[in-house]
Amino acid sequence: MAQRYEPPKQSGVGQLVDSVLLMVFVFGSLMFSLFYENILGFLGMGADEADAAAAAGEVTWDSLGQNEVMQAQWEKLGYGVDEAAVLINDRFDYTIDPVALVVTAIVIIGYFVFLFRASDKEYREVLREKFDN
């Protein structure tokens, strides 16, 4: 027969610290991605390209690839050709960095492998206590 596990008591302060710590992890990861975006330029949104295109001058609806109907819709939305150029030239860059892709895949797969293995160990304890008693 398995021995029943009796968890320790947790103080009020301990409960508060655990709740706050979890929130610190969440906000930390949000801030990290912002830091990474701004500092390392890892993301694909080409803000610089948009700025460069807008700054190049001589922008026309034709040069932006807009037909008459598209032009009319932009103008109904209150956009002139220069304002529209910023949105139209703001494109994603889908060049794939193989190293980053492999690292990301390893992180996701590794995470699930760890989850299932560690969970299985804990699950066996649960079943032992539940069914062997």
Partner 1 sequence: MSEQTATAPAERINLLKVLGPVHVWALGVGIVLVGEYMGWNFSVGKGGAYGSLIACWFIGLLYTCVAMIDSEVTSTVAAAGGQYAQAKHIVGPLMAFNVGLYLVLAYTMLEAADALVVGDLLAIVAGQFGHPDLDPKPFVVLTIASLAWLNYRGVFMTLTVNFIITAVAFIALVVMFFWTQPWNPGAVLLHEKLLTDLPYGWIGVIAALQFGMWYYLGIEGTCQAAEEVRSAGRSIPLGTMSGMITLLIAATITWYMAAGLLPWEYLGQAGVPMYDAAQMTGSPTLMVLLFIGTIFSAIASANGCINDASRSWFSMGRDRYLPIWFAAVHPRYRTPYRAIIFLIPVAVAFGFTGLLDQVITFSILSGLLGYTFMSLNMMKFRKSWPLDSIKRGYVHPFHPLPALSLLILCGATYFATFLGYGASLLAIMGFYIIASVWFHFHRYKYVRRADQFTMPWPKPQGY
Pair 92, 46: CB distance under 8 Å: yes
CB of 50 to partner 1, least distance (A): 11
DSSP character at residue 129? H
**Residue closer to partner 1, measured from CB, 39 or 55:** 39
Binding to partner 1 (CB under 8 A) within 40-69 occurs at: 40, 42-45, 66-69
CB neighbour class for 88 (10 Å; exposed up to 12, middle 13-18, buried from 19): buried
Site map 10..29 versus partner 1, x via CB under 8 A? xxxxxxx-xx-xxx-xxxxx
Number of residues that bind partner 1 (CB under 8 A): 78
| Residue 85 CB contacts under 8 Å (≥ 6 apart), including other chains | 53, 54, 59, 64
Binding to partner 1 (CB under 8 A) within 109-128 occurs at: 111-112, 114-116, 118-128
Residue 98 binds partner 1, judged by CB under 8 A = no
